[in-house]
Amino acid sequence: MNTVFDFTVKDRKGNAVPLRNYANEVLLIVNTAIKSEFTPQYAELEALYEKYHAQGFAVLDFPSNQPTKSCPGTDEIVHNFAKDNYNTEFPRFKKVKVNGDDAEPLYKYLKEMKEGDITADFTKFLINKRGYVVARFEPTTPIAEIDAQIAAML
């Protein structure tokens, strides 16, 4: 696999979604959790999505019970929580594993490109319009810093 766009993932209902569908968009791929200290970042992610979506930007939400076991429940529970509590509109995919031998292939690739295992919920990967990983942000990175990089890429 050469770029993020070479992967196919599953939406929350289990349907295959080729990431090639997002070619020519700037992406922010995030491993989310509904019971994490960082869960309020859903609001910041939605604000970014609303601000830039019309310009070719998307947040791709991959709920995960790794690394902190902060995302219990089914895909529907996670989806309804994010919609009901944070009014999220960005695409949400099936829960994945982000670490270990059985990690989602997309996440194996992301970690190879930028800095190894994921140690926190809401770790973010910024992808350019050509599908290459250009940055990795820990959940403590100020959203304004991420916003500035997205704006520069659009």
Q: Tens digits of per-residue pLDDT, 62-86?
A: 999 999 999 999 999 999 999 999 9
> What pLDDT, on a 0 to 100 scale, did the predictor assign at position 18?
98
**Mean pLDDT over all residues of the chain?**
96
> What pLDDT, on a 0 to 100 scale, did the predictor assign at position 115?
87
Q: Does domain 4-153 have CATH number 3.40.30.10?
A: yes
* Whether 8 contacts 16, CB under 8 Å: yes
pTM exceeds 0.75 for this model: yes
Average pLDDT over residues 16-23: 98
pLDDT beyond 90 at 112? yes
| 1 Cβ neighbours under 8 A, 6+ residues apart | 7, 105, 109
Share of the chain above pLDDT 70, in %: 99
Domain spans of the chain, in order of start: 4-153
Cα–Cα dist 76/141, whole Å: 29
| 97 Cβ neighbours under 8 A, 6+ residues apart | 64, 65, 66, 103, 104, 107
Average pLDDT over residues 104-119: 94
pLDDT digits (tens, 9 = 90+) for 25-63: 999 999 999 999 999 999 999 999 999 999 999 999 999
Cα–Cα dist 70/67, whole Å: 8
Instruction: Assign 1 a pLDDT band (cuts: 50, 70, 90).
Output: low
pLDDT digits (tens, 9 = 90+) for 142-154: 999 999 999 999 9
